[in-house]
Amino acid sequence: MGTILDTVVIGGGAMGSAAAWALARRGRQVTLLEQFGPGHHIGASHGTTRNFNPGYHRPEYVAMLAEGVALWDELEQDSGEQLLARTGIVNHGPDPQLALIQAALTGAGLQAEFLRPEEAAERWRGIRFDQQVLHMPDGGQLNPEAALPAFQRLAAARGAEIRHHTRVVDLAIMDDGVRLTLEAEGAANGTEVVTAAQAVVTAGGWTEKLLSGAAGSGKLRFPRLRVTQEQPAHFRVADEGAVWPGFNHMPGTGPTYKGWYSPVYGMRTPGEGIKAGWHGAGPEVDPDRRSFLPEPVQLAALQDYARTWLPGVDADSLEAISCTYTSTPDEDFILDRIGPVVIGAGFSGHGFKFTPVVGRILADLATGTRPAPQIFSASR
């Protein structure tokens, strides 16, 4: 007879760590399984900066933003770590949704104000601003390398078991739960079989691999997940006196935006430079067979962007970065429960800011407290 558990969380990145934290703080018995070691750079949750970009207008996301602001503050107090640097975020360019965003945020009690491009350029001279500028002072940068250990440490303090270097090699869905076959790195006894009342699957780029191969997975229907290797870069700061908010730049039509692959996001990473990158434009990859090498044409286009729009950096002095996006066709998340399996997936390159809220939603689904918003349904 194998080990019998209550709730197993598969995947110890941002969302899995937050789910373990949220379940443990409710007194649930939870085991978190992560196939790699702490702080690994193979998935989507490494590095020291992610933008907390409040630039949403749909009510489901705006409500999650407001909840997220409070939860990140709570996590900072409980962990004793600074997790959010409030530098503000500026979204600019010919984006017709900026007025909707400003109205939705102010209606939810979050700050958002329009600035003239000349005013923004005077305040943040490292950036060339385009047409209209929405400043959101509640935004800033989150630190994944501090946040993930904080979630796991707080979960463990409430009784959660955290197991790194433990891979799920087989998942079988049964009428009364799940059966997992585990393979621990360096274990002398080969594989281990455990059963659990439920599994919370937060496996990022490995989600489809895990669930499509699961015995009894015929009822698991969810939007296709596309895994891409994204290739942002850190550019050397050329203007040491410049102040840097996080930024998002939406392109328009015409020759000004020729060669763009997507909107551009960016922020300052202390000690590393100004991060900038295309959004969801990287090549599709198998997460177990990545090159980690930048795509040269996209990288050259990113340098051209920096030369034109980021006067505060040296566009010829950069260090490429590699990470993954796991995206749904509509870029809305998958947060749902199907039988004994709770799925948290498809965060599409914009999920990290919502991490503690996603953890709460996954805990709600695992405990049957309340459903997730319909836009996150696996059957949409």
For residues 220 and 303, membership in a common domain is answered with no
Residues 295 and 339 in one domain: no
Per-residue pLDDT of the chain (380 residues; tens, 9 = 90+): 467 899 999 999 999 999 999 999 999 999 999 999 999 999 999 999 999 999 999 999 999 999 999 999 999 999 999 999 999 999 999 999 999 999 999 999 999 999 999 999 999 999 999 999 999 999 999 999 999 999 999 999 999 999 999 999 999 999 899 999 999 987 767 899 999 999 999 999 999 999 998 867 777 889 999 999 999 999 999 999 999 999 999 999 999 999 999 999 999 999 999 999 999 999 999 999 999 999 999 999 999 999 999 999 999 999 999 999 999 999 999 999 999 999 999 999 999 999 999 999 999 999 999 999 999 999 99
Q: Are residues 255 and 345 in the same domain?
A: no
- Within a domain: 8: yes
Q: Are residues 293 and 233 in the same domain?
A: yes
pLDDT at 103: 98
Give, to the nearest 10 degrees, the angle between helix 14-24 and helix 144-157.
Answer: 30
Based on the domain organization, do 218 and 355 belong to the same domain? yes
Domain assignment present for 56: no
Instruction: Tell me which residue range forms the domain holding 255.
Output: 65-141+226-327
pTM of the model: 0.97
Do 12 and 126 belong together in one domain?
A: no
One domain, residues 235 and 268: yes
If asked whether residues 235 and 341 sit together in one domain, one would say no
Q: What's the pLDDT at 213? A: 81
Q: Same domain for 179 and 238? A: no
- Residues 29, 168: one domain? yes
What's the CA gap between 155 and 141, in Å, rounded?
23
**Is there a single domain that holds both residue 16 and residue 165?**
yes
Number of domains in the chain: 2
Angle at 78 between CA 135 and CA 205, to 5 degrees: 65
List the CATH number of the domain containing 354.
3.50.50.60
